Amino acid sequence: MLTTTIHNMQITSKLPEVGTTIFTIMSKLAVDYKAINLGQGFPDFNADQRLLNLVTQAMSDGFNQYPYMPGVASLRQVISDKVSAIYGHRYDPDTEVTVTSGATEAIMSTVLAVVNTGDQVIVLEPCYDSYLPAIKLAGGQAVCIPMNPPTSDCQTFHVDWDRVRSSVTPRTKLIIVNFPHNPTGAILTAEDLDALEAITQNTNIMLLSDEVYEHIVFDGKPHLSLATRPELAARTFVISSFGKTTHTTGWKIGYCCAPVALTTELRKVHQFVVFTVPSPFQVALAAYTQDASTYLNLPTFYQDKRDRLATGLNQTRFKPLPNPSTFFMLADYRAISDMPEADFSIWMTKEHGVTVIPVSAFYGNPDSVDSNHGIVRFCFAKQNRTLDAAIERLMKV
Ligand code: PMP
Ligand code: GLN
* CATH code, domain carrying 309: 3.90.1150.10
What is the domain count for the chain? 2
Both 7 and 96 in a single domain?
no
One domain, residues 375 and 358: yes
Q: What angle do CA 148, 313, 158 make, to 5 degrees?
A: 15
Q: Are residues 129 and 244 in the same domain?
A: yes
Is there a single domain that holds both residue 35 and residue 116? no
What is d(CA 43, CA 36) in angstroms, rounded to the nearest whole number? Answer: 13
Instruction: Report the alpha-carbon distance of residue 81 to residue 91 in Å, rounded.
Output: 8
Three-state DSSP at 257 gives strand
pLDDT at position 186: 97
- Which ligand number lies closest to the CA of residue 185? 1
Q: Do 240 and 356 sit in the same domain of this protein?
A: no
Question: Which range of residues forms the domain containing residue 206?
Answer: 50-292
* Cα(283)–Cα(43) distance, integer angstroms: 22
Query: Helices in the chain by DSSP H: which ranges?
Result: 22-32, 49-60, 73-87, 102-114, 131-137, 161-167, 190-200, 230-233, 242-245, 260-273, 279-289, 293-296, 298-313, 341-352, 384-394
Separation of alpha carbons 208 and 188, rounded Å: 15
Judged against a pLDDT cut of 80, whether residue 1 lies above it is answered with no
**Cα distances (Å, whole numbers) of residue 306 to 139, 185, 330:** 40, 11, 11
Average pLDDT over residues 42-65: 98
Q: Please give all residues whose beta carbon lies within 6 A of any atom in ligand 2, as ranges.
A: 21, 23, 40-41, 182
- Contact (Cβ atoms closer than 8 angstroms) between residue 359 and residue 373: yes
Residue nearest to atom 15 of ligand 1 (CA): 102
Q: Which of 109, 111, 212 to mutate to test the pocket of ligand 1 (most atoms within 8 A of CB)?
A: 212
Determine contact, residues 87/228, Cβ cutoff 8 Å.
yes
pLDDT by residue (tens digit) across 139-195?
999 999 999 999 888 888 999 999 999 999 999 999 999 999 999 999 999 999 999
* 239 and 327 belong to one structural domain: no
Which ligand gives the minimal distance to the CA of 326?
1
Distance 152 CA to ligand 2 centre (A): 29
Say if residue 270 is in the same domain as residue 339. Answer: no
Same domain, 344 and 358: yes
Tell me the three state secondary structure of residue 99.
strand
Q: How many CB atoms lie within 10 A of CB 371?
A: 22
User: CB under 8 Å to 183, separation ≥6 — which residues?
Assistant: 126, 326, 328, 330, 357, 359, 362, 377
Radius of gyration of the chain (CA): 21
Among 292, 310, 339, identify where a domain stops.
292
Contact 222, 214 (CB under 8 A): no
Distance of alpha carbon 305 from alpha carbon 44, whole angstroms: 13
In a shared domain, residues 255 and 375: no
Q: Which of 257, 292, 327 is the last residue of a domain?
A: 292
Beta strands 328-332 and 354-355, pairing class: unpaired
Residues 333/327, Cβ–Cβ less than 8 Å? no
| Mean pLDDT on 34-46 | 97
Positive or negative torsion for Cα 193, 199, 203, 208? negative
Question: pLDDT digits over 285-322, tens only?
Answer: 999 999 999 999 999 999 999 999 999 999 999 999 99
Q: What is the pLDDT of residues 5-32, one digit of tens each?
A: 777 788 999 999 888 889 999 999 999 9
Query: Which residue's CA is the nearest one to ligand 2's atom 8?
Result: 23
- 40 and 54 in a single domain? The answer is no
Q: What is the pLDDT of residues 215-265, one digit of tens each?
A: 999 999 999 999 999 999 999 999 999 999 999 999 999 999 999 999 999
The residue among 292, 323, 354 that closes a domain is 292
Q: What mean pLDDT do residues 65-89 have? A: 98
Contacts by 364-373 with C-beta closer than 8 Å and gap 24+? 364/125, 364/132, 364/142, 364/144, 366/341, 366/342, 367/340, 367/342, 370/146, 371/125, 371/126, 371/341, 372/340, 372/341, 373/149, 373/150, 373/332, 373/341
Q: What is the average pLDDT value for the chain, to the nearest integer?
A: 97
Q: Which amino acid is at 275?
A: F
Question: Is 246 in the same domain as 356?
Answer: no
What CATH number has the domain bearing residue 130? 3.40.640.10
Q: How far is the CA of 10 from the centre of ligand 2 (A)?
A: 31
259/308 Cα distance (integer angstroms): 41
Q: Please give the pLDDT value at position 4.
A: 74
Q: Which amino acid is at 142?
A: A
Pocket test for ligand 1, best of 26, 104, 379 (most atoms within 8 A of CB): 104
Q: Which residues line ligand 1 (CB under 6 A)?
A: 41, 102-104, 128, 178, 182, 210, 212, 241, 243, 249, 252, 254
Same-domain check for residues 270 and 305 = no
The whole-angstrom separation of Cα 358 and Cα 378 is 9
| CA–CA distances in Å: residue 50 to residues 81, 172, 246, 280 | 21, 45, 11, 14
- At residue 153, the pLDDT reads 86
Which ligand 2 atom is at minimum distance from the Cα of 182?
A: 4
Look up the pTM and report it: 0.97
